């Protein structure tokens, strides 16, 4: 994750400034999540003598923040792409090539799936926060499992779509 964040830096110059900002903040939240989760785990395993509950809460809060930023990023991209796809065409020659139009429509679908996956994960993240925070601790186990399964299936579907089915054709 650190290598990805380092490579991403402040994002590509040609990328929308809102997307760059939200992506950088999401990377920061992700980078802060991992050490907090590891400290919480180490405390539960009696490797560190600290209160694990605080570290679990902090790591879950960073997870939730990362998910919220991912949702904001994806919604912004969906709105931007739909605006481009629906913009009035001034002249026939300025129309988008069919392949570019299909690629943009595929990206819209992918971002919508990312929003749904992140919403399922966000619902679970809030559930794991301390009681008294929104709906924390109120989900029955079957709903926690269902949300996790939905999120995982959406992520697997996106990975298969992004790979273009190459994995299915490889011997």
Q: What is the pLDDT of residue 86?
A: 85
Q: What is the pLDDT of residue 5?
A: 67
Return d(Cα 135, Cα 124) in angstroms, integer. 10
**DSSP 8-state code for residue 130:** P
Collapsing DSSP to helix, strand or coil, 87 comes out as coil
Q: What is the pLDDT of residue 167?
A: 46
Return d(Cα 27, Cα 33) in angstroms, integer. 10
C-beta atoms surrounding 20 within 10 Å: 18
Tens-digit pLDDT string for the chain (171 aa): 667 666 767 666 667 889 999 999 999 999 999 999 999 999 999 999 999 999 999 999 999 999 999 999 999 999 999 998 887 653 444 566 788 888 999 999 999 999 999 999 999 999 999 999 999 999 999 999 999 999 999 999 999 988 865 544 433
Asked if residue 7 lies in contact with residue 29, where contact means CB atoms within 8 angstroms, the answer is: no
Q: What is the pLDDT of residue 112?
A: 97
Q: What is the pLDDT of residue 43?
A: 97
């Amino acid at each position: 994750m650190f290598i990805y964040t380092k490579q991403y830096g402040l994002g590509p110059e040609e990328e929308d400034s809102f997307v760059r900002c939200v992506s950088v903040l999401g990377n920061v939240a992700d980078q802060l999540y991992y050490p907090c989760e590891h400290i919480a785990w180490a405390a539960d395993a009696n490797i560190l003598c600290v209160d694990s509950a605080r570290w679990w809460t902090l790591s879950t809060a960073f997870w939730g923040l990362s998910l919220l930023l991912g949702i904001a990023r994806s919604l912004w991209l969906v709105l931007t792409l739909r605006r481009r796809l629906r913009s009035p065409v001034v002249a026939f020659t300025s129309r988008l090539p069919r392949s570019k139009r299909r690629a943009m429509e595929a990206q819209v679908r992918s971002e919508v799936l990312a929003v749904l996956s992140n919403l399922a994960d966000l619902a679970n993240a809030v559930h794991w926060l301390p009681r008294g925070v929104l709906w924390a601790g109120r989900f029955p186990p079957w709903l926690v499992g269902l949300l996790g399964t939905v999120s995982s299936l959406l992520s697997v579907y996106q990975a298969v779509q992004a790979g273009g089915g190459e994995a299915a054709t490889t011997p």
